[in-house]
Amino acid sequence: MLGATGSIGASTLDVVARHPGRFQVFALTAHRSADALLGLCLRHAPRFAVLSGLPEDAALRRRFAEAGCGSELLFGAQALAQVAADSACDVLMAAIVGAAGLAPTLAGARAGKRVLLANKEALVMAGPFFMRAVRECGATLLPIDSEHNAVFQCLPQGARHPGGASPAVRRVLLTASGGPFRSVPLERLPGVTPDEACAHPNWVMGRKISVDSATMMNKGLEVIEARWLFDIAPERIEVLIHPQSIVHSLVEYVDGSVIAQLSNPDMRVPIAHALGFPERIESGASPLDLPAIGALSFARPEPARFPCLELAYAALREGGTAPATLNAANEVAVAAFLEGKLRFTAIPQAIEHALRAVPAAPAGDLDAVLDADRRARRAAGEGVAALMGRAA
């Protein structure tokens, strides 16, 4: 489990703990939060624990050894790919946030694992060759992102494996809650705070993806993710605002039928679906009470409110390394916003700056993508510096 101390990590461990005997935890990773990782190790007794953001530390290693959880502690980013590809485990939960998830998730795909993909950034950055690795190495890719998990469940029998788009599918409709600022007056947006942006109306998530939901860059990244997962052209992927977050996405067929997947907004639903697939297992989510919800509504997103969505479509159409640039610039801009250095409405401006400064190149391998990622971070940093403190 890559990213075990995060929000998806917690939901996954909750589902796993409901099925003793069915799953055994092989490795848990965290970036720097040693205390949180040790707590999880004491509960789940994995063979390995990884702190990817820390150098070798003998005292910490001793602490884990003396705690009696039986987990061997490894350090550094290399250890992520090592545990992800280890032949002793068959399922990889890829739940690191951001570009850092790409290399170890790819290592798991290349080792032919069942990969449960929460780390959408891996597909945004490296869609074509990530999917090639999945096919060529016999991996099974199951989407955890609630929208993509919904689409996967709505696709026709026989074409249920991501990468197998059916000619019977006319459109994929990805739903979006619209986030906390869906109906805030536009002139208030420049002044919104990080805590307001992270207060998502329906989902409890990590801070980065919460800001992405407020800008709707999250949906933009998900359009790119869907393009590669389901091998579907960008113009056949549409975004619908659905404030209740009950319909997680829909697939429209050429005969006019539309199939949707519904549940309460609880990430344990897609996680349990992927962990149990093709069987159905208990997730712990409460049953859906439609009469209590009463009404479900849908609307088109307003382009002026959510410029990040169009930036993502544009990067997808441009192709090559443009989505990797978009993703890296977004990470830099969101981090600057969370640190109080950048206004909310300057996030898309910093991303546009990077997209202009780093021309798209072919994205044939990991090196090309990581090079674009580095250049985009530098350019976005310059963009942030130029935009800091500037009135909106």
Give every strand in the sheet of 114-117, ordered side by side. Answer: 91-94, 114-117, 140-143
In the complex, the smallest distance separating the C-beta of residue 12 from ligand NAD, rounded to whole angstroms, is 9
Query: Which of Mg ion, ligand NAD, none does residue 266 bind to, with CB < 5 to 8 Å depending on kind?
Result: none
d(CA 93, CA 90): 10
Q: Taking CB under 6 A as the rule, does residue 216 contact ligand NAD?
A: no
Cis peptide before 278 (omega within 30 of 0): yes
Q: Taking CB under 6 A as the rule, does residue 52 contact ligand NAD?
A: yes
Q: Which of 120, 88, 106, 186 is nearest to 327 (CA)?
A: 120
Q: Taking CB under 6 A as the rule, does residue 283 contact ligand NAD?
A: no
Q: Which two tokens stand for residue 327?
A: 């993703």
Q: Which of 311, 351, 314 is nearest to 334 (CA)?
A: 351
Binding site for Mg ion (CB under 5 A): 145-147
Task: Write phi, then psi, for 78 (nearest 5 degrees).
Answer: -60, -35
Query: Which of ligand NAD, Mg ion, none does residue 206 bind to, with CB < 5 to 8 Å depending on kind?
Result: ligand NAD
Asked if 314 contacts 304 with a C-beta cutoff of 8 angstroms, the reply is no
Range 66-95, binding ligand NAD (CB under 6 A): 95
CB closer to ligand NAD, 100 vs 379? 100
d(CA 126, CA 119): 12
Q: Taking CB under 6 A as the rule, does residue 108 contact ligand NAD?
A: no
Give the range of 29-37, 132-140, 175-183, 277-285 binding ligand NAD by CB under 6 A: 29-37
13 HSE (CA, 13 A, CB side): 24
Give the range of 5-13, 283-291, 297-305, 380-388 binding ligand NAD by CB under 6 A: 5-13
State which of residues 49, 131, 155, 205 lies at the interface with ligand NAD (CB under 6 A).
Answer: 205
CB closest to ligand NAD, residue no: 6
Say how many Å lie between the first and final Cα of the chain, rounded: 41
In the complex, the smallest distance separating the C-beta of residue 245 from ligand NAD, rounded to whole angstroms, is 11
In the complex, the smallest distance separating the C-beta of residue 254 from ligand NAD, rounded to whole angstroms, is 29
- Site for ligand NAD, rule CB under 6 A: 3-9, 30-31, 33, 52-53, 95-97, 100, 118-121, 145, 203, 205-206, 208-209, 267
